[in-house]
């Protein structure tokens, strides 16, 4: 995504060009650091490092309300980060190390026992930081402003990679370190994810700003990811991981297309467009293809992730899957209606009649994204096979930690059966999932 973000900024950024690209490369470095860190303190360092250059990208090279959006972005994310730092230090005090594999080993062998209330507090501190980054409803209000005011490259990196730091953190830390708390909170998190799916789609439908519309699609689509993670089945977690990758490609490509329209008209208002398929057939053809990917049309990449999430969720939570499926229907409504207003109809603004079509550089960017969309949709088993072992290991690891911690902090039988399903139930869900996944 970073090379494509650089290409899309080739002519759009005219002031302080060196500083802009330095900020992009620092963000890339920090994001790679987050994904490869197995030390909690180092993870936190890179986690915070992602915020600073993005703050400057929005605040310096953004649009009219860029200062407001940048300050809102940094305040929201810093609040969650402070609580996560407290939890990291608390966990270090208990385990005597920041090394994540060591902490997991001590939890599995019983060298470190977390009382239920302590585990719930630590889970809450980690989860809140990750939920703000996702963002999960109702912590999402910073995202539309940040996307709308950010330059195109900032929106591409933010939607394509940075939002996934939150869902990655849930998989890497919340589930394996605090499985009992994750199970206890799963019903509430599932409800919030479903509200985010439906709410994000409905708000996107009524937007008059094209970039803000695409921003709200992230709230809806990442609700699917959170739902798949906390359904606790192999298929749903595989779908969540695939959806993380798929959303980065599809929504990043949507922001690229919107940025190309902005470079020509310097507005995001949908009413200022209309009939663009005539002067810009190539650009609008790519834009339609990307929109179809985002609304989960088979056999494109968006379909695979959402389908796996819905199947895996349906195995244990029929109502969750039914409500979440409505988000897929709504996504077709807002994306196709937006494309109809932008691309079809009469040309009502005279400037639109002479707009230039996609340049060679822009065609290279859009073609690269289109190839990735098709490849991920057609060759999805290449991805899911590689995810299967890690997903099963994660679920088994959660069961082992639960088996060790449960005798030390017994819960009443009635409460346990309602709120925190035991490992036997989880094992059966995993077994069902494997029968579907394996040939």
Q: Give per-residue pLDDT as tens, 132-142.
A: 988 888 888 88
pTM: 0.83
Q: What is the pLDDT of residue 32?
A: 93
Q: Give per-residue pLDDT as tens, 332-376.
A: 899 999 999 888 888 888 888 888 888 888 899 999 999 999 999
Q: What is the pLDDT of residue 437?
A: 42
Is the Cα dihedral 208, 211, 214, 216 positive or negative?
A: negative
Q: Give per-residue pLDDT as tens, 150-209.
A: 888 888 998 889 889 999 999 999 888 888 888 889 899 999 999 999 999 999 998 888
Tally of structural domains, the chain: 1
How many Å apart are CA 336 and CA 245, to the nearest integer? Answer: 23
Range of the domain at 142: 2-437
Helix, strand, coil distribution of the chain in percent, nearest 5: 80, 0, 20
How many Å apart are CA 431 and CA 420, to the nearest integer? Answer: 19
Q: Where residue 144 falls among pLDDT bands split at 50, 70, 90?
A: confident
CB 435, CB 317: distance < 8 Å: no
Is the Cα dihedral 180, 186, 188, 192 positive or negative?
A: positive
* Mean pLDDT, rounded, for 232-241: 90
CB 132, CB 80: distance < 8 Å: yes
Query: Residue 225 pLDDT > 60, yes or no?
Result: yes
Q: Which residues contact 118 (CB under 8 A, 6 or more apart)?
A: none
DSSP state letters, 131-145? HHHTTPTTS-THHHH
Q: What is the 3-state secondary structure (H, E, C) of 249-274?
A: HHHHHHHHHHHHHHHHHCCCEHHHCC
Q: Give per-residue pLDDT as tens, 239-282.
A: 999 999 999 999 999 999 999 888 888 888 888 888 888 888 89
Judging by beta carbons within 10 Å of its beta carbon (0-12, 13-18, 19+), is residue 12 exposed, middle or buried?
A: middle
Q: Give per-residue pLDDT as tens, 101-121.
A: 888 888 888 787 778 888 899
Q: Give per-residue pLDDT as tens, 23-62.
A: 999 999 999 999 999 999 999 999 999 999 999 999 888 8
Cα 345 to the center of its chain, rounded Å: 34
CB 116, CB 50: distance < 8 Å: no
Q: Where residue 405 falls among pLDDT bands split at 50, 70, 90?
A: low
Give the count of alpha carbons within 13 A of 166, CB side only: 27
> Residue 258's closest CA among 209, 305, 223, 307?
209
Cα 132 to the center of its chain, rounded Å: 11
Q: Give per-residue pLDDT as tens, 59-97.
A: 888 888 889 988 988 888 888 888 899 999 999 998 888
Cα 392 to the center of its chain, rounded Å: 22
- Helix (H) or strand (E) run with residue 50 in it: none
- β-bridge partners, 269: 209
Judging by beta carbons within 10 Å of its beta carbon (0-12, 13-18, 19+), is residue 113 exposed, middle or buried?
A: middle
Q: What is the pLDDT of residue 425?
A: 41
Q: Which residues contact 371 (CB under 8 A, 6 or more apart)?
A: none
């Amino acid at each position: 995504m970073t090379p494509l973000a650089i290409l899309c900024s080739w002519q759009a950024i005219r002031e302080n060009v060196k500083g802009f690209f330095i900020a992009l490369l620092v963000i890339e470095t920090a994001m790679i650091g987050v994904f490869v860190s197995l030390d909690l303190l180092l993870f936190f360092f890179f986690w915070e490092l992602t915020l600073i250059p993005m703050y400057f990208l929005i605040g310096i090279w953004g649009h009219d309300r860029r200062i407001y959006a940048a300050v809102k972005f940094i305040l929201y994310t810093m609040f969650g980060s402070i609580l996560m730092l407290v939890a990291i230090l608390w966990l270090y005090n208990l385990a005597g190390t920041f090394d994540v594999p060591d902490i997991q080993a001590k939890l599995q062998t019983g060298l470190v026992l977390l009382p239920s209330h302590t585990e719930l507090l630590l889970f809450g501190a980690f989860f809140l930081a990750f939920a703000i980054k996702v963002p999960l409803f109702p912590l999402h209000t910073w995202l539309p402003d940040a996307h709308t005011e950010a330059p195109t490259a900032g929106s591409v990196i933010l939607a394509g990679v940075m939002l996934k730091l939150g869902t990655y953190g849930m998989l890497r830390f919340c589930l394996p370190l605090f499985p009992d708390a994750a199970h206890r909170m799963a019903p509430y998190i599932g409800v919030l994810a479903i509200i985010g799916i439906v709410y994000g789609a409905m708000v996107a439908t009524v937007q008059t700003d094209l970039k803000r519309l695409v921003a709200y699609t992230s709230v809806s689509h990442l609700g699917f990811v959170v739902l798949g993670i906390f359904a606790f089945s192999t298929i749903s977690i595989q779908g969540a991981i695939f959806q993380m990758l798929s959303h980065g490609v599809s929504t990043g490509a949507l922001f690229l297309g919107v940025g190309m329209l902005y470079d020509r008209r310097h507005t995001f208002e949908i009413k200022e467009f209309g009939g663009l398929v005539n002067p810009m057939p190539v650009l609008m053809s790519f834009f339609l293809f990307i929109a179809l990917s985002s609304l989960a049309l088979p056999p494109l990449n968006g379909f695979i992730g959402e389908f796996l999430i819905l199947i895996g969720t349906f195995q244990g939570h029929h109502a969750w899957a039914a409500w979440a499926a409505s988000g897929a229907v709504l996504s077709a409504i807002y994306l196709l209606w937006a494309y109809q207003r932008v691309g079809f109809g009469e040309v009502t603004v005279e400037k639109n009649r002479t707009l230039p079509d996609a340049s060679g550089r822009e065609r290279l960017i859009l073609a690269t994204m289109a190839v990735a969309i098709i490849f991920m949709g057609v060759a999805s088993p290449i991805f899911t096979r590689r995810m299967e072992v890690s997903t099963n290991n994660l679920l088994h690891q959660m069961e082992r930690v639960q088996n060790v911690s449960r005798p030390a902090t017994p819960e009443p039988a009635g409460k346990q059966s309602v709120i925190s399903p035991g490992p036997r139930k989880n094992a059966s869900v995993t077994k069902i999932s494997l029968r579907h996944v394996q040939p």
